[in-house]
Amino acid sequence: MTAERVRKCPECGRTYPIKVLYCRTDGCQLGDPGDHLVPEVKPTPGRDQLLGRTVARRFVLTEYLGSGATGLVYRAVHKALDREMAVKLLKRELLWDERSLLRFFREAKTCSSVDHPNIVYLYDFGHDDTTGLPYLVMEFVRGQTLHQAIHDSPTGNLPVERALAILVQVCHAIEHAHNRGVIHRDVKPENILLTERDGRADWVKVLDFGVARMVGEPPVTGHGQISGTAEFIAPELLVGDGQVRPAGDLYALGILFHDAIVGRPPFSGTLEVVLHQHMTVNPPRLLQRFADPMIPKALDDLVARLLVKDPDKRPTAAQTARELEQILTDLVDKMSGSPTLHVQPTQILSTLERPTHVVQPLERRTVVVERPERPTQVVGRQNWPTQLIPQVVVETKQAGAPTSSPELVEYGQKARDLFAQAVELADRICTGAWPTALKNLGAKVADCYRQEVELSEKLFSLEKLLAEKAAASGQHNALRQQILALSEQLQVDESLGEEERKRLLVDLEHKEKAFFEAEVRWRRLPPTSPDSLKRRIADVRRDRVQAQILFLRLIVEMPTSGALLGQRNQLAAKLAEIDNPKRSGPQGAVNR
């Protein structure tokens, strides 16, 4: 045992360096400096001294995973539940650094407020008595980072559909964090882990909330400094007061699309050059840098809007997530759709004689481009200009007809009623078989009805699953908060007797078992939103109404006489009434 000069909190009993005056747990003024005995560990040559140690009486450190600027990360196993977890310990040399301690426990506070399938969750945190180090216990996830996936790709970039599927999940994680008042501030490929879940590859886990900040919290970094990675820092952080806003994470998401699809960020070079470009240069469009026909125009427009200089003009995380889901759905439908075969008569084509040419092979050298590691840096802002150069940004207007307005619903109901009358009239006018045009439109209407039923059933099942998911997520988060509260009580409350402490430990173990059971149920449920299905149903309904209106037009223009003439004229009058240009109709309806 060695003696160290420390101050002790009279309320919770925690010890601090002598330069600290107030307890970070309860805010009490610390007592006078005194000697405190710290366990002395004798070093064993060639072996990590922390391996085999038990943290928080429950987590046995089994493997060293790596280190960051302030912490050491280990794989650990829960002694009672045999569950793998990740444990982050503050580096011993930073124990007396006030700013490092504050940032370490701010990360704990930030992580404890988020609970999302695409975010690595915090399980426990505190100050361990055996090692003498502050610790965080987090979800343990096996996989590779997005940075490694891009680097290991043979082409040095990811296919558009894969990048889009990954970054939609990243956007959902950012949306959840923003809804909880958390700004990540260091969104980059190195902090996005890709794992496998329930047989699905590229399941996203967002890592490292070490520099994250709650909205309204004061900064930990010094005055005139910001934390982040140069290639992904938003321009508004480099000028003025550098106020941290959620829009900064959306700017980083736009850079991520360039990094994943093109293979490198839009701005590169020395630190000074990159920061200057962020402030003064409009980034090139995705399609300008990488002319891939698989890149949807809507995605190119969205990424451009994410990278505008004015943070107020960027879409929110919620808006971005909805647009990305629709873009991904359209892209998957486009890739899975089979071409339509048109029946055409066989023709004999004349043979075109062309001379044979010998084409010389083109010599192309393979160049290996290194993707250097990008550390999170503290960047000074004192020498940068205080105003942004005005930029001319052309924004794409998002068009979209309403899908649930009362006018559209009324229009669809009238079209359906008139279609039923038109079918009856068609059977009376066409005593034999219907003309081909009527057959095709009738088949189109029937096919739309079939799709509506199938999609509506899927929507009902999805909404039921999402309700179950919300309940499981609420239970998961509630149990996690109870575990954190019990752990803190066991650490702080020195008045607990041995029997009471044992009882609390048993209660803690029961809650931990329930927590992991809830996590299994939570993970089995889909993370998707029903918005995409709702849009598809609305599109099918529009197609159905348009086919019904075209069917009606053909019927009212067919020649007839006698009693059928009056019935046809009544149908034409009703069609003219709902087809009045002053009324709202579905997008794509044909006007007379």
Does the pTM exceed 0.85? no
Q: Same structural domain for residues 149 and 135?
A: no
The contacts of residue 571 (CB under 8 Å, 6+ apart) are 418, 421, 422, 425, 552, 555, 556
Measuring CA to CA, which residue among 321, 83, 42 is closest to residue 179?
Answer: 321
Inside any domain, residue 374: no
Measuring CA to CA, which residue among 265, 263, 254, 150 is closest to residue 202?
Answer: 150
Contact 258, 231 (CB under 8 A): no
> How would you write the pLDDT of the chain (592 residues) with one tens digit per residue?
455 677 777 766 777 676 666 555 545 567 777 755 544 444 444 557 788 888 888 899 999 988 876 788 999 999 888 889 999 998 888 877 777 777 787 778 878 888 888 888 888 888 887 777 889 898 898 889 999 999 889 988 999 999 999 999 999 999 999 998 888 888 899 889 999 876 778 899 998 877 766 665 555 555 556 677 888 888 888 876 667 888 999 999 999 999 999 988 998 888 888 888 888 889 999 998 888 888 899 999 999 999 999 999 999 999 999 999 889 888 887 876 644 434 445 555 554 455 555 545 444 343 343 444 555 555 543 333 333 323 323 333 333 333 445 566 677 788 888 888 888 888 888 777 888 888 888 899 899 999 989 988 888 888 888 787 778 778 877 888 888 888 888 877 778 888 888 888 888 888 888 888 877 776 665 556 677 788 888 888 888 888 888 888 888 888 877 778 888 888 888 888 776 644 444 444 433 3
**Residue 28's pLDDT is what?**
58
Measuring CA to CA, which residue among 111, 229, 102 is closest to residue 173?
Answer: 111
Inside any domain, residue 163: yes
For residue 308, CA distances in Å to 271, 381, 569 come to 21, 20, 56
| Cα(452)–Cα(439) distance, integer angstroms | 20
Contact 451, 518 (CB under 8 A): no
Q: Same structural domain for residues 131 and 11?
A: no
**Residue 392's pLDDT is what?**
29
Q: Same structural domain for residues 426 and 556?
A: yes
The contacts of residue 536 (CB under 8 Å, 6+ apart) are 329, 455
State which amino acid sits at residue 488: E
Inside any domain, residue 533: yes
Domain count, the chain: 4
411 sits in which H/E element: helix 406-429
- Given 115, 124, 128, 186, which residue is catalytic? 186
Assign residue 260 the CATH number of its domain.
1.10.510.10
Q: Same structural domain for residues 127 and 247?
A: no
The contacts of residue 436 (CB under 8 Å, 6+ apart) are none
Q: Same structural domain for residues 321 and 420?
A: no
Among 294, 318, 334, the domain-final residue is 334
> In which residue are the tokens 């480099």 written?
238
Measuring CA to CA, which residue among 212, 138, 206, 204 is closest to residue 181?
Answer: 212
**Residue 398's pLDDT is what?**
36
511 sits in which H/E element: helix 498-524
Inside any domain, residue 23: yes
Contact 256, 169 (CB under 8 A): no
Q: Same structural domain for residues 301 and 213?
A: yes
Assign residue 126 the CATH number of its domain.
3.30.200.20
Q: Same structural domain for residues 130 and 162?
A: no
Among 334, 350, 382, the domain-final residue is 334
Inside any domain, residue 205: yes
> In which residue are the tokens 């003498």 written?
132
Q: Same structural domain for residues 106 and 3?
A: no
Q: Same structural domain for residues 198 and 251?
A: yes
Inside any domain, residue 74: yes
Contact 78, 58 (CB under 8 A): yes
To the nearest 10°, report the CA torsion of 42, 45, 51, 56. Answer: 20
Q: Same structural domain for residues 35 and 51?
A: no
**Residue 347's pLDDT is what?**
53
CA 116 to chain centre: 10
| Cα(320)–Cα(168) distance, integer angstroms | 9
Q: Same structural domain for residues 190 and 311?
A: yes
| Cα(448)–Cα(365) distance, integer angstroms | 53
272 sits in which H/E element: helix 271-280
Among 290, 312, 334, the domain-final residue is 334
Inside any domain, residue 589: no
Print the domain residue range for 555. 406-578
Inside any domain, residue 495: yes
Q: Same structural domain for residues 421 and 301?
A: no
298 sits in which H/E element: helix 297-306
Residue 186 annotated among the catalytic residues of the structure: yes
